Structure 1
Amino acid sequence: MTGQTAAVFTGRVHGTVQLRHTETGTPVARFWLHHLPRVYDHRARQWTDGALVPVICTVHGAAARHAAETLTDDVHVMATGDLRITPSPHAPGQQQLYLDHARVGIDLTHHVAYIDATLPGVLAGQPPARAAA
């Protein structure tokens, strides 16, 4: 789309992922992502946490179902999508960030993730392999 600003955020999922469906049946997931930027303090010569940046992410289609099934509170993720900024309905004079049509992935710096093809048998509900005698 022309005029869209693509953005990438890393952070933690905050709260529960909400899954809804449009009138045409398309799944849409929505969740809060809390981005905490790291800032280098030249005087102290160390990295510190910057100000928390809350972002509302929306995911569409099959990815929305996957996000609702996979993401839980406090999971570290990376998300990319179309950035939109609007006046905050809750804080006059403030702005709210939205990441629309997001693509979301687990941040492997903080978590181990399995896909269907690599899921260990025990986790997939299969009995453990017997040891050879």
Structure 2
Amino acid sequence: MAGETVITVVGNLTADPELRYTQNGLPVANFTIASTPRNFDRAANEWKDGEALFLRASVWREFAEHVAGSLTKGMRVMAQGRLRQRSYQDREGNQRTAIELEVDEIGPSLRYATAQVTRAASNGGGGGGGGQSRPAQQQQVSEEPWSTPGSSTSADAWSTPGSFGDDTPF
């Protein structure tokens, strides 16, 4: 959408994502990403940490359940989303403004770690929630993690070299 501020943040989770449900049963996960720049100080011949950015983030619906079931405190993540500004009144009656990240995509950084990805079973709700929440279910996928469920990997253009000739199959 025009005028939205889209950013990508790389940092570490400061705590496990907190999964809650709205009064309508809609899942939402909230968490904080700490991103600290590191610069090399040539004079001291060492790396120095800059000032950390602590950015509150949220995800909704089935996505929230996936995040809460997959990510934990301390994990280095990459998150992309839209900055949202909201105003509220604190307990003392002061007007406050908060800037938060509404996450569109998030995943573990593989710079210093490895990950095993499994496809989550769809609840058939089309992502709309439908007023009822179900816990995220994971299924072990016997095919490649990125293949279409129920498809045979032998039909995959990339699984058998030369099986589709020299032409791109799509």
TM-score, length basis structure 2: 0.57
Q: What secondary structure does 1:57 align onto?
A: strand
Q: Give the letter aligned to residue 6 of structure 1.
A: V
Aligned residues: 116
Paired position in structure 2 for 1:100: 102
Q: How many Å apart are 1:44 and its aligned residue?
A: 4.0
State the identity as a percent: 30
Structure 1: state its 5+ residue gaps: 119-133
Q: Deviations over 1:82-103 (max 9, x none)?
A: 01356796xx9x9754111342
Give the secondary-structure state (helix, strand or coil) at the position aligned to 1:16.
coil
Which amino acid letter does the alignment assign opposite residue 114 of structure 1? Answer: Q
Indicate the SS of the match to 1:15.
Answer: coil
Checking the alignment, whether the CA contact within 8 Å between 1:15 and 1:31 is kept in structure 2 is yes
Structure ID, larger Rg: 2
- The residue aligned with 2:154 is none
Mapped partners of 1:102, 1:33: distance in 2:
14
Q: What is the 5 A alignment of 1:15-30?
A: 15-30=15-30
1:48 CA displacement: 2.2
Note if contact 1:55-1:96 (Cα within 8 Å) is conserved in structure 2.
no
Structure 2, unaligned stretches of length 5 or more?
Answer: 119-140, 143-170
Aligned partner letter, 1:99: L
Alignment check: 8 A CA contact 1:79 1:104 kept: yes
Check the 8 A contact 2:15/2:32 in 1, yes or no.
yes
C-alpha distance in structure 2 between counterparts of 1:61 and 1:5, whole Å: 22
Question: For 1:62 and 1:38, how far apart are their aligned partners in 2?
Answer: 35
If each structure's strand is expressed as a fraction of its own residues, which one has the higher value?
Answer: 1
Residue by residue, what CA displacement relative to the aligned partner does 1:28-65 show, whole Å, maximum 9, x if unpaired? 11101111112343544654211011000111222211
CA contact (8 A) 1:54 1:97 kept: no
| Distance change in 2, residues 1:112/1:18 (3 Å) | same
Q: Is the 8 A contact 2:79 2:103 kept in 1?
A: no
In the alignment, the residues of structure 2 paired with residue 11 and residue 33 of structure 1 have an alpha-carbon distance, to the nearest angstrom, of 6
User: What letter is aligned with 2:59?
Assistant: V
Report the equivalent of 1:111. 113
